[in-house]
Chain A
Amino acid sequence: MSVNDILDVGQRGLQTQRQSLSTTSNNIANANTPGYSRQKTQLVNLPAQSINGLTIGSGVEVKKVIRVHDEFVQKQLVDENQNFGNSKIKAETLNRFEALATQEGSNLSETINRFFNDFRELSNNVENPSLRNVVHGSAQSLVRGFKQMNDSLELGRRELDLRVGDVANQINVNAREIADLNSTIVQSEARGETPNELYDRRDMLIRDLAQKVDLQVTEDQRGQKTILAGNAVIVQGADHFELTVRRSAAEGERAAGSMSVFINGSGVPREITHSIKNGELGGLMQARDHVINPAMRHLDKIAYQVTKKVNEIHSEGMGLDGVSNRNFFKELGDEVEHAAFKFGLSDEINENHEKIATGFGDGAPGDNRAALAIADIQNEKFLPAGELGGTVLHSVNESLNNLVAQVGISTQHETQMFEHQRAIVDQLENYRQSYSGVSLEEEAVDMIKYQTVFNASAKAMKVGEDLLDTILSLKD
């Protein structure tokens, strides 16, 4: 081994430690970068040389800069993020919706009580114009109560539809970037590089995407990720296929005009709504179709039955003018759907409160039987419990309270699911951070470690130089 070899080994030592220090420095710089996996230099000793029967090592080199990454945790996070995204969006939207339904339900409940109580008071003095006026006013409040609650539910449904569109757009943006990364990674690998940052970025995008929709991820032979969302391919190699949303006809739990999801493949856009059951996209449509729509149908049933019951009695009764066969509320026919929206006072009652029927007898102005019978509707149990079905019937107030309670039950369930899922995802993310995250203490120790060897390598070179100087001085 020549003195030059000492210098070469020393130089390789310096280079290797410098590269390791760069990696450490990069780790420190990215300690807070979301999705970053710490990197490590993989050091290998170079093949030894055999000189005069002696085997002497020839130094060290960096074989590869690897990222510390657990593919199993990544897969688990992708799986669990779908449930997490689903429960999170449902818990968020239902919590807001619950507050609204509770407020509107309580207002409507109050107006129902007022309406029937005012009929009770009117029955004590049916000819009193002030009391008739009060009944007319509380009936108008009841109409407003049904409309406001219906409007709030409709607003909630529209908001969810809007968010369906937003989430579909976010999925498209993520899918586009993943497809681009697939392409860039393949090109980089072809050049013999290890694009750790690009892997990290792609993994993070996939984890984010999993929160938004049901996801299946596979890897082809070239290392490109193929992604299926709701059984439709959205990323394949460098290609991505966009999701679009459109208003659709009623089907199953879905109301007419609600947003459905389509995939723009090579041919005609294909609907994939039914295969989307998870992630935020699935959660939004489930909250819309399984909580808000049933609540709206329930409200329609209450409005329809109240209209029918009150009209049945009122049309048999007589107003102060002795005329019968008038509806109190607008006739709804057999159409239960949108009854809460159409709920209103009949034109005749609206224009003259003397036409409010309070008795059944002709020429009996003090007859209060119709007013009593209308007030009695509040005590009757004629409404189903709600969308859960069941044979037990409920009063108007009970049915309305059940509607709100049903929203509360869904909210409670989804909040619990969210807490549970959050704990799972937090634990996985904690594990991912524990395994792949940067530890500043560790990096500080590594820095000292590499610096020490760097200094020592420099010293070794100095010794080599001194040896060379000594040899060269022999000539003199």
Chain B
Amino acid sequence: MTARVSTSQMFTNAQNHITTAREREVISSNKAATQKEVTRPSQAPADWTVAANLRDDLTVRETVAKNARFAHSFLTASENTLAQMQELVGRTYELALQASGSATVGPEQFYHVLPEVQGLYDNLIQTLNTEFANRPVFGGFQSHQKAFDSEGNFHGDDGKIEVEIDRGLKVPVNLSGSQIVLGQGLERGTNLIATYQDLLNGLKTGDESLVRSSLDGFSRVVDQISLGRTHIAGSMTEIQRALDNHQVHEEQGKKVVSQLEDADPVKVFSDLVRDQTVLRAAIDTNAKVLHNDPLDALLR
């Protein structure tokens, strides 16, 4: 059975058709203008939440990745310090060996070696006071003063300066002065400063046994320094892994956010064309229907 159609029904239906077509056209044109499929949580709550969490994670990772690069630079400075120390110790060892190994040379030869060893010692103190970003590499948390004074007294502590290199993952970036320089807490640990001072005293006083005994100390110190460099290498690997991880997260995160939120341009524009056509058809059709005046025709 065909339903009866009232005049107001025709107008209401026309209005509904045009309004619905217009609403769809507006939605499509918004998507085309923003190129976003999801702009509000109600459009896809689960997708929106995942995208929002990912965006937050990416923002945090940006800072953490910056930290990782900072840690890398700090560790590079620490590594350079250790390399420099190793060089100084190596040269000092050579001089000590040279002085103690020659039976023909007497204390007067010591006297010639002494200035260079003294210079190397001064260089060492300077190297031990290396700072990075206003923080002494060997000073622990004691950032207000130099780690070692000219007498070789240690003014730092065992504080580990850590940097967050990945979310929740931290690595120490400084070096323990008490361990690497003073040999504390290590099995057969050697005090580098004391070894130098023994050598200097031996050279000054012509005490050959002191000079000779320092050789053993220097070779153990080289092991201590190598231990420090091993730790740094470990941390560097961890930082590199963290940086790679950030890159993967960044690429994947952005890709997922885009998949969840971005509109497919082909679909958006074809939808827009379709919705515009539907709107035009709705307007044209309803204009034809509504402009047909029945009273005119019937009551002519």
Q: Which residues of A contact B (CB under 8 A)?
A: 28, 31-32, 38, 94-95, 98-99, 102, 106, 109-110, 112-113, 116-117, 120-121, 123-125, 127-128, 359, 361, 364-369, 372, 375-376, 378-379, 397-398, 401-402, 404-405, 407-409, 411-412, 415, 426, 429-431, 433-442, 444-445, 447-448
Contact = CB atoms under 8 A, between A and B. Distances in A.
A125 B9 contact: no
A409 B48 CA distance: 11
B162 to A, nearest CB: 6
A116 B63 CA distance: 10
B294 to A, nearest CB: 4
A444 B143 contact: no
A411 B42 contact: yes
Contacts of B164: 120, 123, 372, 375-376
Task: State the majority secondary structure of interface residues on A.
Answer: helix
A109 B299 CA distance: 69
B135 A364 contact: no
Nearest to B135: A366
Given A120-B64, A366-B135, A32 B8 contact: yes
B273 interface: no
Nearest to B70: A124
Interface in B232-256: none
A408 B168 contact: no
13 contacts: A38-B6, A98-B40, A364-B157, A365-B143, A368-B162, A379-B167, A407-B42, A411-B40, A430-B13, A434-B5, A437-B7, A437-B9, A444-B294
Given A98-B40, A121-B63, A405 B45 contact: yes
Interface stretch (B52-60, B179-187, B204-212): B52-60
B16 interface: yes
A187 B170 CA distance: 88
Contact of A102 (B6, B9, B40, B59): B40
B260 to A, nearest CB: 13
A422 B167 CA distance: 49
A120 B140 CA distance: 19
A398 B53 contact: yes
Interface in B257-298: 294-295, 298
A404 B298 CA distance: 60
Contacts of A113: 56, 59-60
Nearest to B169: A379
B159 interface: yes
Nearest to A121: B63
A46 B5 CA distance: 33
Contact of B40 (A38, A366, A408): A408
Nearest to B156: A366
Contacts of A117: 59-60, 62-63
B12 A430 contact: yes
